[in-house]
Amino acid sequence: MSTPILAVREVVRTFGGLRAVDGASFDVEQGSITALIGPNGAGKSTLFNVVSGFLSAEGGSVQFEGRRIDRAPSHRIARRGLVRTFQVPRTLTRLSVLDNVLLAASGHPGERLSGLLLRPARARAYERKTRHRAHELLELVRLDKHAQDYAGVLSGGQRKLLDFARVLMTEPRLVLLDEPMAGVNPVLGRQLLEHVLQLRAEGGMTFLFVEHDLAVVMEASDRVIVMNEGRVIASGTPTDVRSDERVVDAYLGVVPPT
């Protein structure tokens, strides 16, 4: 079997006495669309924060493409090609929608400041290419008409779409999406899902996404990982997971017999 693109092992993260992530372990296979599900407070977003370097792990390890990343800061992890969106997007409200997307490209390997300063022609070519791509991505999420508007005027759903465009701007290999469709108008949500499927098929990107709508999970994912109380309680294909008693119990809030 090939090395998983992401390997999470026994990760622990506490807040005071609360064990938000309590020894979670799972793999994400290269080229897959993997769903991370579980009831509110299960630790899904905390796990995303640890994997993407926004929070430190107190125990365990995280490997991306075979290399440890659990001590690396978020910007370094992003530069290696692992990026995430936020459940509540971190929109730069006083910048234009377009600038929000353009900024995401900074620090990208294509943009080496020293090189750009020495070669103005190449710098201009890079900038043209970057702007072109930013406009393409804004078109993709139907925000092109708002390119020059302050990002602060966007609705919550539109900010999620902007966040998606920002993430794609970095040309990632692994994308973590935290409830990408929540609050997004259903038609756009569906389009976003189509884009994910297409980017996986054509660009070879891998996706790990948190989603509460089980119909979407069943339709879009190859693998499902189920968290409850900070741990992974089940994983498998959507069909496996749907018929798993522990999953049904966790979702229905029934305490399983010990």
Ligand X SMILES: Nc1ncnc2c1ncn2[C@@H]1O[C@H](COP(=O)(O)OP(=O)(O)OP(=O)(O)O)[C@@H](O)[C@H]1O
Q: Which of 189, 237, 235 is nearest to 216 (CA)?
A: 189
Q: Which of 49, 82, 45, 37 is nearest to 64 (CA)?
A: 82
Question: Which span sits near ligand X by CB under 6 A: 36-44, 141-149, 163-171, 195-203?
Answer: 36-44
56 vs 178: CA distance, rounded Å: 18
Q: Looking at this protein, which amino acid is placed at residue 42?
A: A
Question: Which span sits near ligand X by CB under 6 A: 38-46, 119-127, 155-163, 187-195?
Answer: 38-46
The residue from 1, 2, 17, 40 that contacts ligand X (CB under 6 A) is 40
Residues 1-30 that bind ligand X (CB under 6 A): 15, 18, 20
Give residue 242's Cα distance to chain centre: 23
The residue from 23, 31, 41, 107 that contacts ligand X (CB under 6 A) is 41
Say how many CA atoms lie within 13 Å of 254 toward its Cβ: 9
Question: Which span sits near ligand X by CB under 6 A: 37-45, 111-119, 146-154, 182-190?
Answer: 37-45
Is 43 a binder of ligand X (CB under 6 A)? yes
| Closer residue to Mg ion in complex, CB, 25/87 | 87
Q: What is the DSSP track for 20-55? A: EEEEEEEEE-TT-EEEEE-STTSSHHHHHHHHTTSS
Is 224 a binder of ligand X (CB under 6 A)? no
The single-letter DSSP state of residue 19 is: E
Is 253 a binder of ligand X (CB under 6 A)? no
**Cα 84-48-200 angle, rounded to 5 deg:** 45
The residue from 32, 34, 46, 228 that contacts ligand X (CB under 6 A) is 46
The residue from 38, 53, 81, 180 that contacts ligand X (CB under 6 A) is 38
Least Cβ distance, residue 255 to ligand X (angstroms): 18
Residues within the interface to ligand X (CB under 6 A): 15, 18, 20, 38, 40-46, 87
